[in-house]
Amino acid sequence: MRFINILLLLMLWAPAVAGDVVARVRLDEATRFGFPELIFGAQEEIYVLPYNSVDGLKRLKEMVGLRLLRYPCGTPSDWLAWDAVEEGYWPAFPKARKKLYPDAYIELAKQLGLEPLITVNTTLYGPHLDGIVNRVNPTKVESIRRGAEYAAKWVHHANVENRSGVRYWEIGNEVWIWLQGAEYANHVREYSQAMREADPSIKLIACGLAHDAEFSPKWLKFPDDPNWTTRTVNRNTFDGWNEALLSLPEGTFDYIAQHVYLNLPDMEALEGGKDVFASIHRAEVLNNTIAMIKKHNSPVRIAITEWMVNFHWEPFVTPHRIKKGTLTTQEAEKVTLASSPANQFITTLLAADWMGRMIASGYVDIAVGHTWINSLTRNWNYEAQKAIKPPLLEPAGAAMKFWSDHHGGQVVPVTVEGGPSYVHEDETVPLISAYATTDRDKVYLVLINRSPDQTLAVNAADLVAGQDAATITEHVLSAPSWVASVWPTVEDSARYPIQESSQVLATDTLGDYQLLPSRLVCLEASLTKSSGQ
Q: Looking at residue 445, what is its pLDDT?
A: 82
Please tell me the distance from the alpha carbon of residue 102 to that of residue 81, in angstroms, as a whole number.
10
Using an 8 Å Cβ cutoff, are 280 and 424 in contact?
A: no
pLDDT of residue 520: 84
Q: How far apart are CA 277 and CA 274, in angstroms?
A: 5
In this model, does residue 145 exceed pLDDT 70? yes
Class of residue 203 by CB neighbours under 10 A (exposed 0-12, middle 13-18, buried 19+): middle
Q: Looking at per-residue confidence, does 365 or 425 come out higher?
A: 365
Residue 173 has pLDDT above 60, yes or no: yes
Does 533 or 403 have the greater pLDDT score? 403
Q: According to CATH, where is 2.60.40 located in the chain?
A: 4-32+415-529
In the CATH hierarchy, which fold is given to the domain comprising 4-32+415-529? Answer: Immunoglobulin-like (2.60.40)
Position 15 scores a pLDDT of 42
Helices (H), 325-394: 329-338, 341-360, 382-385
Q: Are 27 and 412 in contact (CB under 8 A)?
A: yes
CA-wise closest residue to 429 among 199, 320, 273: 273
Question: pLDDT tens, 178-195?
Answer: 999 999 999 999 999 999
Q: Is it the case that residue 388 has pLDDT exceeding 60?
A: no
**Which residue in 178, 239, 184 sits closest to 214, CA to CA?**
178
- Sign of the Cα torsion 143, 144, 147, 152 reads negative
Which residues face 432 on adjacent strands? 10
Looking at residue 189, its pLDDT comes to 99
In tens, the pLDDT along 267-277 reads: 566 667 778 88
Q: What is the structure's pLDDT at 328?
A: 67
477: Cα separation from own chain's centroid: 21
Least confident among 73-82, 177-186, 441-450: 441-450
300 with 293: CB under 8 angstroms? yes
CA dist 491 and 213 (Å) reads: 38
**How far apart are the C-alpha atoms of 244 and 253, rounded to whole Å?**
13
Average pLDDT score over residue span 95-123: 93
Mean pLDDT for 4-28 is 58
* Least trusted range by pLDDT, from 39-53, 121-135, 208-222: 121-135
The rounded mean pLDDT for the chain is 83
For the ranges 9-13, 347-351, 353-357, 372-376, the one whose mean pLDDT is highest: 353-357
Per-residue model confidence (pLDDT) at position 461: 82
Mean pLDDT along residues 98-123: 96
C-alpha distances (whole Å) from 49 to each of 282, 381, 432 are 35, 8, 38
